C-alpha cells in the first residue's frame, strides 16, 4: 500500500470583490520572448533534436548562502514559463539549493520549430541532456501543471537521476479522452490559439486558476503569454502550442503513477478545476472533470511513496496565489521525503 501523509494548509482567502482588469491588451514580444524581462540571467543550451538545431533557454541559479549540495529542476506549465517560477527560485536558492529553471522547446525563450514531434519523452530527453551538460547527475524535480506530466515522465525515464519528485497541481491526474472529452485536432487547436488575447487569458485564468480572485501581479504573466502570442512569431507560437495541446491530450501519464518509486510530494490547491478540453465536453462529463479536491487524494493512493499536501480554497497555482504558505510547505516536504 502507498504511504500517504496528508496535510491541510488552512486560513486561506475568501472570495472578494470582482477584479478590475486593465483596458489595454499589453505589449508584444519576440518569438523567443525577446523583450520580456526574466528574474535571473537566461542562458541557452544548443543541441540537435529530430534533425534540427534547437536552443533551450534556462536559468541556472546557485544557492544563496550555504549550499546544501542538492539541485532542483523546475518544470513549468503550458501557460507558464521558467520566469513564472520567480518566487520559488528565490525560496529554494535561499534554502541552499541550486535551481535550474528551463523553458521547454516550444515555449517562451526556447526554439519553436516548424515541424517537431512533441512527446513528454522527447522533452524529458532534452532536459536530461541539459542537466548532463551542467554536470548535474541527480536532482529533485518540481513540476507544475503540464510540467507535472513532464516531471512524471522524466522520473519514469530516469529514476536513478531523480532524487525526489514534487508535483504542483499537475494536470493529467485523469485521462480526459477516456472520460468522454471530445478529441480536438491539431488544426482545431491551432485556430483557437490564433485567437488568443490578453483579455481571454485573464478570463480563463480567473475562472480556472484563481477561483474568481485576481491579483494585480498576475497581469505580468498574462502580458507574457499574450505578448508572445501577438508578436512577430505568432504563427510559430500558435502552431507549436497546438502540437503541445495534442501531446497533453493524447499522452496520459495517469496509468503509470503506480510505477513511480521515488519519494513524491503532491502539492494540491483543492479548488482547482483545470481539465484540457473541458469546455468541449458534454455537460454531464464536464461536471465531473478537474475536481482536484478528489483527484489529489486518488492519485496519492496510486503513487507508492506519496505525501499529499492540500491547500484548501486555492486554485491551480498555489505557488503564485499564496507563495509564503506554499514555499514553507514545499521546503518542509522536500526535507521530510
1-23 pLDDT, tens digit per residue, is 444 444 444 433 333 333 333 33
Cα–Cα–Cα angle for 134, 320, 152, nearest 5°? 50
DSSP 160: G
Average pLDDT in the chain: 93
Task: Give the cell for residue 61.
Answer: 541559479
Q: Could you read off the pLDDT of 284-321 as tens digits, one per residue?
A: 999 999 999 999 999 999 999 999 999 999 999 999 99
pLDDT at position 2: 43
The pTM for the full model equals: 0.93
Asked whether the beta carbons of 326 and 311 are under 8 A apart, the reply is yes
pLDDT at 254: 98
Cell 549550499 belongs to 67
Q: What is the DSSP letter of 5?
A: E
What is the mean pLDDT of the segment spanning 225-244? 97
Per-residue model confidence as pLDDT tens digits over 173-194: 999 999 999 999 999 999 999 9
Q: What is the pLDDT of residue 25?
A: 65
Q: Which three cell numbers stand for residue 85?
A: 517560477
Range of lowest pLDDT (5-19, 26-40, 136-150): 5-19
Residue 49 clears pLDDT 60, i.e. is over it: yes
Residues near 98 by beta carbon (within 8 Å), at least 6 away in sequence: 60, 61, 62, 63, 67, 70, 71, 72, 136
pLDDT at 172 over 70: yes
Per-position b or e across 45-65, b if 16+ CB within 10 A of its CB: bebebeeeebbbbbbbbebee
Q: Distances in Å between the alpha carbon of 302 and those of 3, 156, 254?
A: 10, 14, 9
* pLDDT-derived band at 336, boundaries 50, 70, 90: confident
pLDDT tens track for 93-111: 999 999 999 999 999 999 9
Percentage of the chain beyond pLDDT 90 is 91
Position 9 scores a pLDDT of 42
Residue 195 burial (CB < 10 Å; 0-12/13-18/19+)? Answer: exposed
pLDDT over 70 percentage in the chain: 92
3-state DSSP percent of the chain in helix, strand and coil, to 5: 40, 20, 40
Mean pLDDT of 29-56: 98
Q: What angle do CA 176, 195, 30 make, to 5 degrees?
A: 105
d(CA 220, CA 208): 18
Residue with cell 508535483: 167
- Domains of the chain, CATH where assigned: 3-14+37-183+252-336 (3.40.50.1820)
Q: Which is nearest to 265 in space by CA: 146, 178, 176, 165?
A: 165
pLDDT per residue over 319-335, tens digit each? 999 999 999 999 999 99
Per-residue model confidence (pLDDT) at position 197:
95
Return the pLDDT at 26: 84
Question: Is 330 within 8 Å of 74 (Cβ atoms)?
Answer: no
111 contacts 55 by C-beta, under 8 angstroms: yes
Q: What is the pLDDT of residue 158?
A: 98
Model confidence at 142: pLDDT above 90 = yes
Closest to 150 in 3D by CA, of 188, 110, 119: 119
pLDDT above 60 for 200: yes
Planar angle of CA 13, 18, 23, nearest 5 degrees: 125
Among the listed residues 275, 195, 177, 185, the one whose alpha carbon sits nearest the alpha carbon of residue 237: 195
H helical segments located in the chain: 86-94, 120-133, 146-157, 176-179, 186-194, 198-208, 218-230, 234-250, 283-286, 292-302, 318-321, 323-336
Amino acid at each position: 500500500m502507498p504511504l500517504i501523509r496528508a496535510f491541510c494548509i488552512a486560513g486561506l482567502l475568501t472570495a472578494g470583490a470582482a477584479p478590475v482588469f486593465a483596458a489595454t491588451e499589453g505589449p508584444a514580444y519576440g518569438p523567443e520572448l525577446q523583450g520580456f524581462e526574466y528574474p535571473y540571467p537566461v542562458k541557452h543550451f544548443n543541441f540537435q533534436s529530430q534533425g534540427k538545431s534547437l536552443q533551450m533557454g534556462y536559468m541556472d541559479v546557485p544557492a544563496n548562502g550555504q549550499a546544501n549540495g542538492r539541485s532542483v529542476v523546475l518544470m513549468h506549465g503550458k501557460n507558464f514559463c521558467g520566469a513564472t517560477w520567480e518566487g520559488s527560485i528565490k525560496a529554494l536558492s535561499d534554502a541552499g539549493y541550486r535551481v535550474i529553471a528551463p523553458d521547454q522547446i516550444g515555449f517562451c525563450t526556447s526554439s519553436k520549430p516548424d515541424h517537431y514531434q512533441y512527446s513528454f519523452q522527447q522533452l524529458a530527453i532534452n532536459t536530461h541532456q541539459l542537466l548532463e551538460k551542467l554536470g548535474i547527475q541527480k536532482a529533485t524535480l518540481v513540476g507544475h501543471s503540464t510540467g507535472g506530466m513532464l516531471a512524471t515522465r522524466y522520473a519514469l525515464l530516469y529514476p536513478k537521476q531523480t532524487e525526489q519528485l514534487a508535483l504542483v497541481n499537475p494536470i493529467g491526474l485523469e485521462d480526459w479522452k477516456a472520460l468522454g472529452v471530445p478529441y480536438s485536432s491539431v488544426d482545431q487547436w491551432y485556430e483557437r490559439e490564433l485567437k488568443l488575447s490578453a483579455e481571454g487569458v485573464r478570463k480563463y485564468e480567473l475562472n480556472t486558476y484563481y477561483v474568481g480572485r485576481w491579483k494585480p501581479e498576475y497581469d505580468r504573466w498574462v502580458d507574457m503569454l499574450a505578448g508572445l502570442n501577438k508578436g512577430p512569431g505568432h504563427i510559430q507560437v500558435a502552431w507549436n502550442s497546438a502540437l503541445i495541446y495534442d501531446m497533453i491530450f493524447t499522452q496520459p501519464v495517469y496509468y503509470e503513477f503506480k510505477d513511480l518509486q521515488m519519494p513524491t510530494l503532491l502539492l494540491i490547491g483543492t479548488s482547482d478545476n483545470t481539465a484540457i478540453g473541458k469546455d468541449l465536453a458534454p455537460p454531464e462529463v464536464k461536471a465531473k472533470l478537474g475536481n482536484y479536491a478528489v483527484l489529489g487524494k486518488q492519485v496519492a493512493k496510486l503513487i507508492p511513496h506519496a505525501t499529499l499536501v492540500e491547500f484548501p480554497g486555492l486554485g491551480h497555482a498555489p505557488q503564485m496565489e499564496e507563495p509564503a504558505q506554499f514555499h514553507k510547505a514545499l521546503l518542509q516536504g522536500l526535507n521530510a521525503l
